[in-house]
Amino acid sequence: MSTKFESQPKREERENGQVEELTEFINNNDLSGEEINNAYLIAMGIGLDNPDVEGATNPPRKEVYLLAERMNQLMNEGLVVNRITELIESKKESEKKLSNAVHDYNIAVDSSNFSDREKKLLKSIIRDLREGTLSVSCLVRDSKTNREQEVPLGEIKITVDKNQKQFQAKLALLLIEQLGRVMEMAKPQVLFTE
């Protein structure tokens, strides 16, 4: 009887490649966290008609079965089950973050130091999915002249893709990330040109 041992770095490299393969399949087929979980349950031999399985009321798409088949193959090749469950949790966390993104964006804008007019403008970009360029600057007091000067901080070009799933939420997350530090400045300013 022979046993094959794989070094830790080689095993991690192999598993990372396997997880990357699953992630690519998931993204290419736009599978939800629930669908990934259903594929995992199928791969583990747990029937979706099991009363302990949540959210399995609709018959799964064929991609769920294909993912389950590939998961099963990869587990037989040594992929650790924890890596799949981490993938499921990561996807569900991402979906949760997206579902709260517009609300979180509006709260961030409301608590920022932008003027009321600028707050309305920033909210309308997300609400109405406006395309254009958002120019960001702040007012800084010049120590020599004691006058406020506008300092440009950058531009954010916004192109709307209404066909992309959850585009509004993804745009809200992007703007939160891009405007994060600016929102905390004493006198931030924005200008939007369509």
pLDDT digits (tens, 9 = 90+) for 137-187: 988 888 888 888 888 989 999 998 877 778 889 899 999 988 888 888 878
Q: Give the pLDDT score at 186.
A: 77
Q: Residue 86 falls within a domain, yes or no?
A: no
Cross-strand bridge partners of residue 188: 138
Please check whether residues 123 and 167 belong to one and the same domain: yes
Q: Give the pLDDT score at 2.
A: 46
Angstrom distances, CA of residue 169 to CA of 66, 93, 105, 159 = 29, 14, 9, 14
Nearest by Cα to 153 from 138, 169, 174, 170? 138
Please check whether residues 124 and 160 belong to one and the same domain: yes
Nearest by Cα to 112 from 12, 120, 7? 120
Please check whether residues 40 and 70 belong to one and the same domain: yes
Q: Record the pTM.
A: 0.64
Q: Residue 59 falls within a domain, yes or no?
A: yes
Q: Give the pLDDT score at 110.
A: 94
Which residue, of 47, 79, 111, is where some domain finishes? 79
CA dist 87 and 39 (Å) reads 12
Q: Residue 164 falls within a domain, yes or no?
A: yes
Q: Give the pLDDT score at 57.
A: 53
Q: Give the pLDDT score at 143.
A: 84
Q: Residue 109 falls within a domain, yes or no?
A: yes
State CA 86 to chain mean position distance: 15
User: Which token pair is 32?
Assistant: 């939800």
Please check whether residues 23 and 54 belong to one and the same domain: yes
Please check whether residues 128 and 188 belong to one and the same domain: yes
CA dist 22 and 41 (Å) reads 15
Given a contact cutoff of 8 angstroms between Cβ atoms, the answer to whether 193 and 132 are in contact is: yes
Q: Residue 137 falls within a domain, yes or no?
A: yes
Q: Residue 84 falls within a domain, yes or no?
A: no
Question: How confident is the chain (194 residues) per 10-residue block, as mean pLDDT?
Answer: 65 88 92 91 82 63 93 92 94 89 93 93 93 91 86 90 82 89 85 92
Q: Residue 1 falls within a domain, yes or no?
A: no
Domain of residue 152: give its range.
100-193
CA dist 163 and 186 (Å) reads 37
Enumerate residues 6+ apart whose C-beta is below 8 A from 189.
114, 115, 118, 136, 137, 138, 139, 150
Please check whether residues 188 and 106 belong to one and the same domain: yes
Please check whether residues 109 and 189 belong to one and the same domain: yes
Domain count, the chain: 2
Which residue, of 50, 79, 108, is where some domain finishes? 79
Place of tokens 């300013």: 189
Q: Residue 125 falls within a domain, yes or no?
A: yes
Please check whether residues 151 and 186 belong to one and the same domain: yes
